Structure 1
Amino acid sequence: MILEIITPDKNVFNGEVSVVTLPGKNGEFQILKDHAPLVSTLAKGNLTYDQGGKSETLLVDGGVIEVSNNKVLVLAEAVLDAEA
């Protein structure tokens, strides 16, 4: 599936991933291939995705996610280093 992460300043990531783990307002949740359509708000927390067997983590400062037709669109308020 395709993951696209966008902030008001820039496009942070656009690529093929196998799984995305997100910080929801009511707790962490995962998106896998063929997930049902979804729109949800995000809390501040770690967004993790697996790409080619390698896991990457970003710290997002809230936002919105839309899932449709194996595309995950994350509109984040800001993306910081995961260690921040």
Structure 2
Amino acid sequence: MNLEIITPDKKVFAGEANAVTFPGTEGQFQVLNNHAPLVSTLGVGDVVVEATPGAAKQVYRIDGGVVEVLKNKVLVLAEAII
């Protein structure tokens, strides 16, 4: 799936990912390839990006935001990277 993580200042990440874990306001959740459409608010916590199996995970600590998942495209609008 294609993932973009954007803050008001800059684009933090753009690329392919196999799995992404989010700090939802109601609890942590994970999005995989071909996930159902979704819009969710995010709380303070880590967005963990798994680009390929066996590769190192990338972690971005965010200060809240929203995520939209639609047709294998994931857009994260983060308030800030902390």
Task: Report if TM-score (shorter chain) is over 0.5.
Answer: yes
Instruction: Give the unaligned 5+ runs of structure 1.
Output: none
- Alignment-derived partner of residue 65 in structure 1: 67
SS in 1 for 2:3: strand
- Alignment-derived partner of residue 23 in structure 1: 23
Instruction: Give the unaligned 5+ runs of structure 2.
Output: none
Identity, % of aligned pairs? 56
After the TM superposition, list the runs of 4 or more consecutive aligned residues in structure 1 that deviate by more than 2 angstroms: none
Question: TM-score, normalization: structure 2?
Answer: 0.94
Q: Output the amino acid matched with 2:75.
A: L
Q: Greater CA deviation, 47-56 or 28-37?
A: 47-56
Question: TM-score, normalization: structure 1?
Answer: 0.92
The count of residues paired between Structure 1 and Structure 2 equals: 80
Normalized per residue, the structure richer in strand is 1
- Alignment-derived partner of residue 48 in structure 1: 48
